[in-house]
Amino acid sequence: MKWLFGKKNKETNVETLDSLLKELKASSDFIHFHYEQSPHGYWISYFQTLVESKILHRDILPYVNKETLKSLEKFKEVIPIEDVEITSDVKKIKNKILQGYVFIQLHEHDNEGLIIHAATHKNRQVSVPEVEFSVIGPKEAFVESVDTNLNLVRKRLPIPNLRIEEVRVGKLSKTRTYIMYVEGISNEENVNTLRQRVKGIDFDTITDSSFIAQMIEDNHNSPFPQLIDTERPDRVAAILAEGKVAILVDGSPHAIFGPTTITEFFSAFEDYFLSWHIASAFRLIRIFAVAFSILSTPIYVATITYHYELIPKDLLSTLITSRSNIPLPPFFEAVFLELTIELLREAGARLPTKVGQTIGIVGGIVIGTASVEAGLTSNILLIIVALAALASFTTPIYRMGNTIRLIRFPFLVLGAIWGFVGIVLAFSFLIAHLLKLTSLGRPYLEPIYPPRITDWKDAIIRLPYSYLGKRPVQLQTQDTVRFSEQHAKKKRDHISRKSDIDD
Amino acid sequence: MKRKWLIPIVILLLFLSGCGNEVEIIDDISLVTVVGYDKGEDGKLIGTVSIPIYNPDFSINTEQYTSQAHLINENRDKLNAQSSKPLVSGKLLVALYSKELAREGLADLLDNLRRDPSIAANVYLAIVDGNVKELMDKQYSNVDLGIFLSRLIEQNIKTESLPKTNLHLFLNDYLEEGKDPFLPIIKKRKDTVEITQLGLFKGDNYVEAINYKAGFMFKGLSGNFKNASYTLKFKKDAYVFIQNLKSKRKVEVKHPDGRPQITVNLNLNGIIKEYNRTKVTGKNIVTDIEKKMEKEIQVKAEELIRRCQELGVDSFGIGEKVRQHSRSWTKEEWQTIYPELDIKVSVKVDIQESGVTK
């Protein structure tokens, strides 16, 4: 059986410092040299590609020259860098060198040495969010460096209760992963679940937070994402304050958070910047768009194929005329168009932006009109399919949008086989699946089921802030009150009365 | 556990796909929008169906097929043999019957419409004065015959004097004890079709027609209506046109168990739109108009009720109203006392506005 599972990837055990240095020297970017100018003959070793040369030349090398520094202890006292340590732990030395520390020995074969932090940070500048862009509101987005990202969140929540726990994930990548939550607000159970799952990950390289999201989800076989990913630090700060738990991963410009509900996937963070009427209206439009996107093509196909009785008499002539020259049955016609749209989307996503736009025009206008004129598809179905595709793009969370586009196909197939009965069947399966789904052990369909009236205030619609005094019941937070609604009202009334007198 | 369910589902999907609905792709079927029946020789029915043909250039032709048979479904089979696409009746809009057939009773013919689940309950029914086939042989204006006829009836229900009628309501009236149904009677003119009369039924048998102009009264006596209009001859050469007429009917029943005394209260209100004499000013003229109209409507309504009583036809559902007040009501007894009953009509007209000028 051994051939099947392969050899266990054992970490090479470095016994001595000498053998470690020997092993590292095999890489051409590893520098290990005797500093000749120094009167005491220091040995310096580091990875050229990990170390900031400015720090090395400004803060380390000048001190090495000084005659007075005969021992490592003295050296440690003088050097203007905080993260300095004398150690003989070979394993530690190895890890630190690999993270961009400079290692200094007095003599070549010493067992002890000084490790000095001099890691370089090559970062992208903090830029405007692209996936979750909002017209109003902050325009900062996460970058690939987790230190910057942590800073972006922490400066928004300047409280000591904000806990950040580091977990290293990935046997090879040893990716720095941070679990963030607010002590005293978020439920311990949620934090423990998340911590346990993150620690339980067994994988070689973690490239992005989406890896972790997929690995720790409650149900791996569900097409529905059970954790939200966001690139907005303001959103992460907001959900932490709400009592949720977030994960930041080094090298990933997306944070993931949970527990979440299905309605949260259809609320854009911009909703909180707009007045509540408008935000509620936009959310309703998005929900409608989802229903339309999933159901419109299957209902069209089912109606045209089986249930002609349902077509209003005034629509008959439009529908029949549009189909009068089409040789394909409605199902194949719909599949043809749906696939065309998916091809366009996929081609647009793979190509560089400028070419992608051209593809959009070619596909949308040329293929669309040509296939109608050629009599391959009816223009009404073309309109429906295009609208359904458009509607699916209104979902704010990209991963959810993909799911919406995917689950349309089972509906379409069942609708083509059994008509409306098939659509109802597919819908029943969908509902059953969603009812069973959980996010970090919390119900996914909440507040619709289990029905929790108090959580409706910020689900499908968003009530004014004065009604959002309580944290969501779903999260079972330790501190359930965000602010006292009565107290806030009293305060508000007091201010307004005062200003009346002043006038 | 999941695997256990997956396999049966896949098997069901694969093998039961034939057990679904019948495939009726909309452009591969012939939608029958109008059916019409004439009386044929030796007890046969002449069935005619009208089918719209939708051309790619958005124009519409209609096709008619006719055949003779004893039964409606037998007839349908014969018609199917003539058509290039299968005939389906799920989009039936109007069913027409000749006067002779209606006189003999419509129940058996309507039974076919009732039994077919694909046929809607809001199919319009009408009696044709003349030959049904002849009426259906022509395409009126540039729309399909079914849409043309259904719009004709619909429009008259909404704005004119035709009380609401369709298959469901006809059957409801027919099956209800103490009410008799009615149907519009249509007639072919040269290039168009017109509603000329209202056909009164006793049970399912057509009895007698009343003039369509009396339809206003008929509608008021059968129930409430909104948005009607009325022309009143006020004085010599002085006419008043009253619009937005709303009417509420209330039937009062006294002594329901003995010899019932019935009063039909009609409450009308509307506005004066046109008066061809002088300006409508002063309260007196308006009250005069109200009084005159009350009198006129009362006379006409009582006349209409008396005529129905003579025919033994209870189109206004007075029997049903009495039944609501009485435990001992029987259909047989009602039919004997109905013609001699004293039914009064009391009308109250309220003219709310005399119009606004710019």
DSSP class per residue in B96-155: EEEHHHHHH-SHHHHHHHHH-TTS-TT-EEEEEES-HHHHHTS--TTS-HHHHHHHHHHH
Contact B247, B266 (CB under 8 A): yes
Question: Chain A: nearest CA to B120, how far in angstroms?
Answer: 8
Q: Which domain holds residue A376?
A: 276-442
Residue B24 binned pLDDT confidence (cut-offs 50, 70, 90): confident
Yes or no, beta carbons of B120 and A309 under 8 Å apart: yes
Same structural domain for residues A298 and A405?
yes
pLDDT digits (tens, 9 = 90+) for B53-105: 998 888 898 999 999 999 988 998 999 999 889 999 999 999 999 999 999 99
Question: Chain B: nearest CA to A312, how far in angstroms?
Answer: 9
> How far apart are alpha carbons B313 and B201 in whole angstroms?
7
Q: What is the pLDDT of residue B268?
A: 92
How is chain B split into domains, by residue range?
27-212, 223-358
> How far apart are alpha carbons A47 and A28 in whole angstroms?
9
Q: Looking up tokens 């249509």, which residue turns up?
A: B186
**What type of residue is A113?**
G
pLDDT digits (tens, 9 = 90+) for B207-230: 999 998 888 889 889 888 888 888
pLDDT digits (tens, 9 = 90+) for A302-358: 999 999 999 998 898 899 998 888 889 999 999 999 998 888 888 888 888 777 778
Residues B149-159 have a mean pLDDT of 90
Q: What is the pLDDT of residue A1?
A: 45
pLDDT at A57 over 80: yes
pLDDT digits (tens, 9 = 90+) for A470-482: 999 999 999 999 9
Residue A175 binned pLDDT confidence (cut-offs 50, 70, 90): very high
Give helix A379-392 / helix A330-350 axis angle, nearest 10°. 40
In order of A61, A67, A346, the CA distances from A106 in angstroms are 14, 13, 59
Reading phi first (left if > 0) and then psi (alpha if -120 to 50, else beta), residue B282 is in: left
Same structural domain for residues A94 and A169?
no
Query: Is residue A140, in this structure, part of any structural domain at all?
Result: no
Q: What is the pLDDT of residue A306?
A: 92
- Phi first, then psi, for residue B309 (nearest 5°) are -65, -40
Query: Is residue A373, in this structure, part of any structural domain at all?
Result: yes
Domain boundary at A442, A463, A486, which? Answer: A442
- Choosing among 2.10.70.10, 3.40.309.10, 3.30.300.210, 3.40.50.360, the CATH entry for B223-358 is 3.30.300.210
Yes or no, beta carbons of B27 and A323 under 8 Å apart: yes
A26 three-class SS: coil
Chain A residue with minimum CA distance to B28? A324
- Return the beta strands (E) in A363-435 as ranges: none
Q: What is the pLDDT of residue B1?
A: 58
Query: Is residue A96, in this structure, part of any structural domain at all?
Result: yes
Residue A392 corresponds to which tokens in the numbers above? 């699916």
pLDDT digits (tens, 9 = 90+) for A26-44: 888 998 888 776 666 778 8
Task: Write A317-323 long-range contacts (CB < 8 A, 24+).
Answer: A317/B52, A317/B54, A317/B58, A317/B60, A317/B144, A318/A380, A319/A380, A319/B26, A320/B26, A320/B27, A320/B54, A321/B54, A321/B55, A321/B56, A321/B58, A322/A378, A322/A379, A322/A380, A322/A381, A323/A378, A323/A380, A323/B26, A323/B27
Same structural domain for residues A418 and A281?
yes
Largest CA distance in chain A: 101
Domain boundary at A75, A96, A117, which? Answer: A117
Q: What is the pLDDT of residue A34?
A: 82
Query: Is residue A267, in this structure, part of any structural domain at all?
Result: no
In order of A248, A335, B132, the CA distances from B37 in angstroms are 77, 44, 7
Domain boundary at A198, A232, A260, which? Answer: A260
Residue ranges of chain B whose CB lies within 8 Å of a chain A CB = 2, 13, 17, 20-27, 29, 31, 33, 52, 54-56, 58, 60, 88, 90-91, 93, 118, 120, 144, 146-147, 150
Query: Is residue A281, in this structure, part of any structural domain at all?
Result: yes
Residues pairing with A180 in the sheet = A164, A246
pLDDT at A74 over 60: yes
What stretch of H or E contains A215?
A: helix A209-216
- Phi first, then psi, for residue B332 (nearest 5°) are -65, -45
Residue A171 corresponds to which tokens in the numbers above? 């046997």
Contact B27, A324 (CB under 8 A): yes
> How far apart are alpha carbons A89 and B229 in whole angstroms?
104
Q: What is the pLDDT of residue B258?
A: 78
Q: Looking up tokens 């209902």, which residue turns up?
A: A299
Same structural domain for residues A27 and A63?
yes
Residue B186 binned pLDDT confidence (cut-offs 50, 70, 90): very high
Query: Is residue A124, in this structure, part of any structural domain at all?
Result: no
Contact B222, B315 (CB under 8 A): yes
In this complex, which of A311, A321, A418 lies closest to B58 when CB atoms are compared? Answer: A321
Chain A residue with minimum CA distance to B29? A308
Residue A382 corresponds to which tokens in the numbers above? 């073309």
pLDDT at B124 over 80: yes
**Share above pLDDT 90 across residues of chain A, in percent, rounded to a whole number:** 55
> How far apart are alpha carbons B66 and B106 in whole angstroms?
20
Yes or no, beta carbons of A313 and B52 under 8 Å apart: no
Question: Chain A: nearest CA to B9, how far in angstroms?
Answer: 11
Selected residue of A417, A429, A437 to mutate for chain B interface (largest B Cβ count, 10 A): A417
Same structural domain for residues A238 and A155?
yes
pLDDT digits (tens, 9 = 90+) for A218-232: 999 999 999 999 999
Q: Tell me the average pLDDT of chain A.
A: 88
Q: What is the pLDDT of residue A12?
A: 53
Query: Would you give the DSSP letter of residue A29?
Result: T
> How far apart are alpha carbons B124 and B108 in whole angstroms?
17
In this complex, which of B24, B56, B90 lies closest to A325 when CB atoms are compared? Answer: B56
**Comparing A102-111, B14-23, B24-33, which segment has the lowest mean pLDDT?**
B14-23
Partner B contacted by A63 (CB < 8 A): no
A residues 194-223 lying closer than 8 A (beta carbon) to B: 221
Q: What is the pLDDT of residue B285?
A: 80
Residue B345 binned pLDDT confidence (cut-offs 50, 70, 90): very high
Query: Is residue A308, in this structure, part of any structural domain at all?
Result: yes
Contact B195, B210 (CB under 8 A): no
**Comparing A41-45, B61-65, B269-273, B301-305, which segment has the lowest mean pLDDT?**
A41-45
User: What's the structural domain count of chain A?
Assistant: 4
B285 three-class SS: helix
Q: Give the ipTM of the model, two decimals please.
A: 0.83
CA neighbours closer than 13 Å in the CB half-sphere of residue B138 = 14
Query: Is residue A205, in this structure, part of any structural domain at all?
Result: yes
What stretch of H or E contains A313?
A: helix A313-323
Q: What is the pLDDT of residue A346?
A: 87
Residue A28 corresponds to which tokens in the numbers above? 């051409």
Q: What is the pLDDT of residue B358?
A: 65
